[in-house]
Amino acid sequence: MSVTQTKPGSAATSMCWSCHTLLSGGHFCVSCGKIQPLPPGADYFAFFEWPQKLSLDDAALEAQFHKLSWKLHPDNFVRASEFERNLSLERSSQLNDAYRTLRDPVARVEYLLELHGIRKEGQTKQQAPPELLEEVFELNESLDELREARAEGGDTASLRERLAAAQKNFQQKLTEVDAGLAATAREWDATLDARADDAKRKPLLAKLNELLNRRAYIRNLVAGVQKELTEA
């Protein structure tokens, strides 16, 4: 998320651009009520006025989204200055981006890792986890056999059955990874509550990144098998 515009000719500060009252956060000045630019370094969590926690309540997130949508909507600024109207448009767009990201548990983890420089947007490590190498090798062999049998017009029933069993196995592994992500997310939140230092937080970020890479790899396997089964 990029920093929003500041008023032309002014520097980004923690003061209201209109009445120069010191700001303590939020989207509006508590003194004059004017909409404010996002402070430098603000992120999606800060946009919702929340800490960088991963275990969010879906109902609370949706409620806050609708509340901010109403407050920041451009219709509320039709008679305001051009600067305020532009801020409203910018804030409304950022609100939608923030909501789309934070409402999805996996996207939420990815975004947190991006904020902390652990992961780049869209980055995944497409490498089989060492403990899955044998199963992945067998899966690829079965996929090759299925493609060959299909091309030759042979019987694919037994191969399809074998692949369906493999798909179910990897789907279970995907469920286990999701459970691991949820558990590690709770550990991360606990470090925030305890105000833990970076030495305790960094291993959790690394673990979250490893789990995301594992999840992406297994998910691609499951999707690949499903595609072949559909075509067979």
What pLDDT digit, counting tens, does each position of 102-135 carry?
Answer: 999 999 999 999 999 998 765 666 677 788 888 8
Residue that wins the pLDDT comparison between 199 and 231: 199
Contact 103, 61 (CB under 8 A): yes
Distance CA 126, CA 131 (A): 15
150 found inside a domain? yes
14 found inside a domain? yes
141 found inside a domain? yes
Residue that wins the pLDDT comparison between 2 and 166: 166
Contact 68, 95 (CB under 8 A): yes
Domains: count for the chain: 2
122 found inside a domain? no
Contact 170, 218 (CB under 8 A): yes
152 found inside a domain? yes
Quick check: helix, strand or coil at residue 35? strand
Say whether both 92 and 141 belong to one domain: no
Say whether both 73 and 2 belong to one domain: yes
Q: Give the per-residue pLDDT at 119.
A: 85
Say whether both 149 and 96 belong to one domain: no
Q: Give the per-residue pLDDT at 4.
A: 37
- Is-above-0.75 flag for pTM? yes
Q: Give the per-residue pLDDT at 122.
A: 59
184 found inside a domain? yes
Say whether both 99 and 137 belong to one domain: no
CATH no. for residue 46?
1.10.287.110
Q: Give the per-residue pLDDT at 153.
A: 80
Distance CA 169, CA 8 (A): 58
Domain that holds residue 22: 1-103
Q: Tell me how far the alpha carbon of residue 169 is from its chain's centroid.
A: 26
Say whether both 195 and 99 belong to one domain: no
Say whether both 62 and 22 belong to one domain: yes
Q: Give the per-residue pLDDT at 124.
A: 63
